[in-house]
């Protein structure tokens, strides 16, 4: 953020949390709302912002209500707003507002989030300029995730040296891991970075129901490259280690799939999500995501071929790097990496060596009422 500017500065706290497999920000909003408020105020003080917007996913009615109650309490106690000056004997004051999303995943992308707050359609902006130079209403703006901001009070209280000693030196601290899928104890686990993925699954989250083998794990929300279940040994959960393992930490949402999972259906469902959530500005994302769903549907219908697998990788590769925002990569990575890493599985599916009952097709037509009921399981 520029140190000197005659423009107002803003903080946006990103609680849009719409990535499938991610459900940890809502834990902060529910159980530590005052920690998030404190982090928001300290961050505003540090960057010189007098207004903060906490952008919360529209479907999070319960958490919006809970967080509003906490904000009201903090205002009533003189911790936010003009009264701060008396309470803390300072010249600094700051307002904090909740801004509700309206059900669009793309509004979690930082520039789209700012357009949404400004009252425009949630289209991502071309960068540069970046928000720190040219953000909300053209003013310097910092955008950080709920979990990031909630970490601030403890770091200020105990010091950065304390924080940097937790977990992996290159990526210190803790992560809120949301564990879901075929798992005995799904939930959110706060653990140091560098915790073994297998420890998260077996030691903390109780392992896989029926002691089944793991076929696939997505380590950081549905857009991150999936990992093979037979190659999980030794993988640590931090930025560097996951990069080495061929994936990324993303949102820390660990999705576990057992050996009986229909990976074609999983991939079709993930692809349908990104297709549906594409804002449509860029041709590779708008058209490419639709083709991914159509080809995957063909395979689900039992009419796929080995050529379709190559075509899926080709379409995904042509989306990557050719779009305004990273939704392009979010749509492309699961497809490219799942097919590359599970080629044997997908080849067997298209050659019908593995046949699974095709119960639910994932529909691809835009502008038709999506028969969501068809894919509810
Ligand atoms: C399509 C898309 C959706 C995103 N959704 C979210 C979201 O729901 N929450 C979030 O914190 N960041 C989301 N991001 C990342 C934000 O753009 C931004 O990088 C993030 O809020 C920065 O927070 P951090 O650096 O504190 O992690 C999304 C990015 C993209 C491309
Ligand atoms: S990549 Fe997709 S979601 Fe992002 S701006 Fe382009 S069309 Fe919109």
| Ligand at shortest distance from the CA of 281 | 2
pLDDT (mean) for 330-358? 89
Query: Among all ligands shown, which has an atom nearest to the Cα of 107?
Result: 1
**pLDDT of 236:** 98
Query: Which mutation among 14, 52, 251, 253 tests ligand 1's pocket best, with the greatest number of atoms within 8 A of CB?
Result: 14
Provide the pLDDT confidence category of residue 372 given band limits of 50, 70 and 90. Answer: very low
**Spacing, Cα 83 to ligand 1 middle (Å):** 32
Q: In this structure, which residue's CA is closest to atom 6 in ligand 1?
A: 108
> Is 233 exposed, middle or buried (CB count within 10 Å of its CB: 0-12, 13-18, 19+)?
exposed
pLDDT digits (tens, 9 = 90+) for 85-104: 999 999 999 999 999 999 99
Polymer length of the chain: 377
Which one, of 341, 349, 263, 272, lies nearest residue 305 by Cα?
A: 349
What residue owns the CA closest to ligand 1's atom 18? Answer: 110
Predicted confidence (pLDDT) per residue in 254-305, tens digit: 999 999 999 999 999 999 999 999 999 999 999 999 999 999 999 999 999 9
> The domain 168-258 is classified under which CATH number: 3.30.70.100, 3.10.20.600, 3.20.20.70, 3.30.450.40?
3.10.20.600
Q: Is the pLDDT of residue 362 over 70?
A: no
Ligand 1 neighbour 223 (Cβ under 6 A):
no
What's the CATH fold of domain 263-375?
de novo design (two linked rop proteins) (1.20.1440)
Mean pLDDT of the chain: 94
pLDDT band at 367 (very low <50, low <70, confident <90, very high): very low
Ligand nearest the Cα atom of residue 105? 1
**For the domain 10-158, what is the CATH code?**
3.40.50.11540
Instruction: Assess whether the C-beta atom of 144 lies below 6 angstroms from ligand 1.
Output: yes
Ligand 2: atom nearest CA of 280 is 7
**DSSP label of 37:** H
How far is ligand 2, taken at its centre, from the CA of residue 118, in Å? 19
Which of 11, 54, 103, 108 maximizes ligand 1 atoms within 8 Å of its Cβ, making it the mutation to test the pocket?
A: 108
- In this predicted structure, the answer to whether residue 369 has a pLDDT above a threshold of 60 is no
Q: What is the pTM of this model?
A: 0.93
**pLDDT tens across 118-145, in order?**
999 999 999 999 999 999 999 999 999 9
| Cis bond upstream, residue 129 (ω within 30) | yes
With contact defined as beta carbons under 8 Å apart, do 299 and 349 qualify? yes
Domain map (residue ranges) of the chain: 10-158, 168-258, 263-375
Residue whose CA lies nearest to ligand 1 atom number 30:
109
- Which of 126, 145, 270 to mutate to test ligand 1, by most ligand atoms within 8 A of the CB atom? 145
**Residue 91, Cβ density class (10 Å: 0-12 exposed, 13-18 middle, ≥19 buried):** exposed
Give the integer Cα–Cα distance in Å for 169 and 177. Answer: 19
Taking Cα atoms as reference points, which of 18, 41, 45, 36 lies closest to residue 113? Answer: 18
Per-residue model confidence (pLDDT) at position 353: 73
Pairwise CA distance, residues 61 & 67, whole Å? 10
């Amino acid at each position: 953020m520029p140190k000197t500017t005659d423009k107002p500065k803003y903080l946006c706290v990103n609680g849009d949390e719409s990535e499938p497999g991610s459900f940890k920000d809502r834990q902060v909003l529910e159980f530590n709302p005052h920690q998030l408020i404190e982090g928001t105020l300290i961050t505003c003080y540090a960057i010189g912002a007098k207004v903060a917007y906490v952008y919360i996913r529209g479907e999070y009615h319960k958490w919006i209500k809970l967080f509003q109650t906490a904000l009201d309490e903090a205002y009533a106690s003189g911790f936010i707003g003009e009264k701060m000056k008396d309470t803390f004997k300072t010249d600094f004051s700051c307002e904090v507002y909740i801004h509700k999303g309206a059900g669009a995943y793309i509004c979690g992308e930082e520039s789209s989030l700012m357009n949404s707050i400004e009252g425009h359609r949630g289209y991502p902006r071309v960068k540069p300029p970046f928000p720190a130079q040219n953000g909300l209403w053209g003013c310097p703006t910092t955008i950080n995730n709920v979990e990031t901001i909630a970490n601030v009070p403890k770091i200020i209280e105990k010091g950065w040296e304390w924080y940097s000693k937790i977990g992996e030196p290159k990526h210190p601290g803790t992560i809120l891991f949301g564990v879901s899928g075929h798992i005995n104890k799904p939930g959110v686990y706060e653990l140091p970075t560098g915790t073994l993925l297998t420890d998260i699954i077996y030691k903390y989250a109780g392992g896989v129901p029926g002691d089944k083998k793991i076929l696939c794990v997505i380590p950081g929300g549905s857009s991150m490259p999936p990992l093979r279940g037979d190659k999980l040994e030794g993988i640590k959960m931090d930025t560097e280690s996951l990069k080495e393992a061929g994936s990324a930490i993303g949102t820390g949402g660990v999705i576990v799939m057992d050996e009986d999972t229909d990976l074609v259906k999983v991939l079709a469902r993930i692809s349908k999500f990104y297709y549906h959530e594409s804002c449509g500005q860029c041709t590779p994302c708008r058209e490419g995501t639709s083709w991914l769903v159509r080809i995957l549907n063909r395979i689900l219908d039992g009419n796929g071929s080995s050529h379709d697998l190559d075509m899926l990788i080709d379409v995904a590769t042509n989306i990557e790097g050719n779009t305004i925002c990273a939704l392009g990569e979010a749509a492309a990575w699961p497809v490219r990496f799942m097919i590359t890493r599970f080629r044997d599985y997908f080849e067997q599916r298209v050659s019908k060596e593995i046949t699974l009952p095709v119960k639910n097709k994932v529909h691809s037509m835009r502008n038709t009422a999506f028969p969501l009921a068809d894919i509810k399981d």
